[in-house]
Amino acid sequence: MSVMQAGRQTWLFAPAPLLLGSAAVVGKREGAGPLAEDFDVIHKDNYLGQKSFEAAEQKMLEEACNLAVRHAGLGRDEVDLHFSGDLLNQITSSSFTARSLGLPYLGIFGACSTFAEGQALAALAVASGAAQQALSSTSSHTNAAEKQFRYPNEYGAQKNETTQITVTGAGAAVIGQMARKTELRPVKITSATIGKVVDLNVTDPFNMGAAMAPAACACLLAHFKERQVPPDYYDLILTGDLGRVGSPLLQELLLKEGLFLPDKQLNDSGKMIFSDEPKNLAGGSGCGCIAATACGHIRRQMAAGNLRRVLLIATGALLSPLSVQQKESIPGIAHAVSWEVE
Amino acid sequence: MSKKAQKANPSSAALRQQAAEQVYQNMQQSQKPPSHLLRNCFNAFWTGGLICLLAQGVQEILLRQGFNLENVGAPTSAVMILLAVILTMLGVYDHISQLAGAGSAVPITGFANSVSSAALEYRSEGLVLGVGGNMFKVAGPVIVFGAAAAFVVSIVTALYYSLGGGAL
């Protein structure tokens, strides 16, 4: 057994499973952003040559999965388990991707927290010996999400500054016990903290950063308490998609709990993936936001030795268009996964 | 409060949740980005005016083409609708709206945009259930409540006259 429960919510993996390979595939807006160099594929066409946005998202996810498996130096038949999730109804992007990959598949939904959920489950499966290699993947597509959750894409609704823009991107990572390719600095997945749903009665679906910040705060506090590491243990604590509105709220919530994290230690994928021009509103969101940032940018930073210990906290807003119309508040969730290199 | 005391008093958890919600509401209020009400009003004013000026120009042209003041309204609207649909199709209208807000939403062009954008969006689900079923997804409520409001106004007007009201 190489999984240990620490406290109630945290899993410690020892020996830690390795991140064998990862891939990030993104769309045009992300490709024009500050992290452009770190993505494996950038698509200029949001349709990816497909007939619908939904088909485009699936294609992007497929591409990311195949690339991640190839980067791991594996064949597809060597991957034993596939966890995947996305934002579309009944997670069709993931299931259709699983259909073409043909791997044993478990579909998951955690809204935008799906990335960390998949990572934690894949690491758990590998560490417990249930799988030799496991693939975790997730995706989101700005037009497909807009169509499902908000208005038609070309409809002229004025978006306010708290609105976040769904990232068009897919991220996939293969996790395994043994590295096929010898890497200079293999990334280890050392721990995971499974978050609880937190709802502080935020009802504005155009301000999801605010809805998710309390969940991120709770998850972070639980992680530090249960893993018993000091706050400065991590070089970077990367939240999923709190954006420019949710991030300062998280910082203030943490301060109230007596935890001070400086700006350079606490960052957000939603803020990183787009430049801070006004046209990018409050930043990025969606499953693909932290997935593409982590599988592309963070992984390369760690390989280059610029970052040694990173805590990824993917945050999700568990709403549906229906629940919003029925005036329900927006429950938030956050899961954390730690990536470390020696 | 000890855990035992919390268990004995079931409402305390609810009270704490309520307090946490309130604290968070306050925190959000203090960090809220400014709403730019004045700027939005100003932008809506001049862009909306510009669209009306454009429509006036179209009307002047049509008047010279043999239309008279009685019948020029409908073709002018049709031209404005066509322009809005073309701009929607080219993917431009939503960018104009981001600046203009109500300025581009209130004129007939906004209505045309809401219908054509939905039609475009749901084309991938087929002509009948996709385009047909969803075309009025955004504009539908406007029509429903427009008709309902017209009904109420007509009844009030009829009552006014039947009760001996003078000419308005």
Contact A133, A174 (CB under 8 A): yes
Q: What ipTM goes with this model?
A: 0.85
Instruction: Look at residue A202 and tell me whether its pLDDT is greater than 80.
Output: yes
B-chain residues near A221 (CB < 8 A): none
B-chain residues near A158 (CB < 8 A): 40, 97-98, 100-102, 105
A-chain residues near B117 (CB < 8 A): 151-156
User: Hey, is the C-beta of B16 within 8 angstroms of any chain A C-beta?
Assistant: no
Q: How far is CA A108 from CA A49, A112, B125, in A?
A: 27, 11, 26
Chain A: closest CA distance from residue B154 (Å): 31
Average pLDDT over residues A145-149: 93
| Residue A178 pLDDT class (50, 70, 90 cuts) | confident
Beta-bridged to residue A41, according to DSSP, are: A25
pLDDT tens digits, A235-286: 999 999 999 999 999 999 999 999 999 988 999 999 999 998 888 889 999 9
Chain B: closest CA distance from residue A163 (Å): 11
Binding-face residues of B in 97-156 toward A, CB within 8 A: 97-98, 100-102, 104-105, 110, 113-114, 116-118, 120-122, 124, 137-138
Chain B residue closest in CA terms to A156: B94
Dmax (CA) of chain A: 56
By C-alpha distance, which of A191, A256, A250, A248 is closest to A10? A191
Distance from C-alpha of B30 to C-alpha of B33, rounded to nearest angstrom? 9
- Alpha carbons within 13 angstroms on the beta-carbon side of residue A49 total 3
What Rg, from alpha-carbon coordinates, does chain B have? 25
- Does B27 sit within 8 Å of A156, measured CB to CB? no
Contact A309, A161 (CB under 8 A): no
Chain A: closest CA distance from residue B163 (Å): 42
Contact A74, A20 (CB under 8 A): yes
pLDDT tens digits, A60-86: 999 999 999 999 999 999 999 999 999
Which member of B23, B93, B120 has the closest CB to residue A156?
B93
Token reading at B168: 């308005």
The backbone torsions φ and ψ at residue A311, rounded to the nearest 5 degrees and listed phi first, read -110, 120
Which member of B94, B102, B124 has the closest CB to residue A52?
B124
User: Hey, is the C-beta of B94 within 8 angstroms of any chain A C-beta?
Assistant: yes
Chain A residue closest in CA terms to B18: A200
A-chain residues near B20 (CB < 8 A): 200, 214
Q: Which residues contact A109 (CB under 8 A, 6 or more apart)?
A: A85, A91
Chain A residue closest in CA terms to B131: A152
**Residue linked to tokens 């998949």:** A118
Instruction: Look at residue A181 and tell me whether its pLDDT is greater than 80.
Output: no
Q: What are the residue ranges of CATH 3.40.47.40 in chain A? A: 3-176, 190-340
- Does B88 sit within 8 Å of A153, measured CB to CB? no
By C-alpha distance, which of A27, A67, A64, A325 is closest to A166? A27
B-chain residues near A152 (CB < 8 A): 117-118, 120-122, 137-138
User: Hey, is the C-beta of B25 within 8 angstroms of any chain A C-beta?
Assistant: yes
- Name the percent of chain A lying above pLDDT 90: 89
Q: What is the pLDDT of residue B1?
A: 45
Chain A residue closest in CA terms to B86: A154
Which member of A54, A156, A161 has the closest CB to residue B110?
A156
How many other CB atoms sit within 10 Å of the CB of residue A39? 25
Contact A294, A303 (CB under 8 A): no
Contact A317, A211 (CB under 8 A): yes
User: Hey, is the C-beta of A253 within 8 angstroms of any chain B C-beta?
Assistant: yes
Chain A: closest CA distance from residue B68 (Å): 33
What does each of the 168 residues of chain B score in pLDDT, given as a tens digit? 455 555 556 678 888 888 899 999 998 888 887 778 999 999 999 999 999 999 999 999 999 998 999 999 999 999 999 999 999 999 999 999 999 999 999 999 999 999 999 999 999 999 999 999 999 999 999 999 999 999 999 999 999 999 988 776
User: Hey, is the C-beta of A325 within 8 angstroms of any chain B C-beta?
Assistant: no
A-chain residues near B114 (CB < 8 A): 155-156
Distance from C-alpha of A12 to C-alpha of A6, rounded to nearest angstrom? 7
Beta-bridged to residue A338, according to DSSP, are: A191, A311
pLDDT tens digits, A206-232: 889 999 999 999 999 999 999 999 989
Q: Which residues contact A127 (CB under 8 A, 6 or more apart)?
A: A2, A3, A11, A13, A16, A17, A177
Instruction: Tell me what percent of chain B is helix, strand and coil, each rounded to the nearest 5.
Output: 80, 0, 20
Q: What is the pLDDT of residue B4?
A: 57
Contact A22, A174 (CB under 8 A): yes
User: A186 preceded by cis ω (within 30°)?
Assistant: no
- Assigned CATH topology for domain A3-176: Peroxisomal Thiolase; Chain A, domain 1 (3.40.47)
Chain B: closest CA distance from residue A107 (Å): 24
A-chain residues near B138 (CB < 8 A): 151-152, 155
- Alpha carbons within 13 angstroms on the beta-carbon side of residue A229 total 17
By C-alpha distance, which of A262, A127, A237 is closest to A191? A127
Chain A: closest CA distance from residue B150 (Å): 26
Which residue type occupies A66? N
Q: What is the pLDDT of residue B165?
A: 80
Instruction: Look at residue A1 and tell me whether its pLDDT is greater than 70.
Output: no
DSSP secondary structure letters along B70-113: TTSHHHHHHHHHHHHHHHHHTT-HHHHHHHHTHHHHSSHHHHHH
Please tell me the CATH code under which domain A190-340 is placed: 3.40.47.40
Q: What is the pLDDT of residue B168?
A: 65
Interface test with A, best of B90, B92, B94 (most A CBs within 10 A): B94
Q: Which helix (H) or strand (E) holds A213?
A: helix A208-227
A-chain residues near B91 (CB < 8 A): 154
DSSP secondary structure letters along A31-65: HTSTTGGG-SEE-S-TTTT-SSHHHHHHHHHHHHH
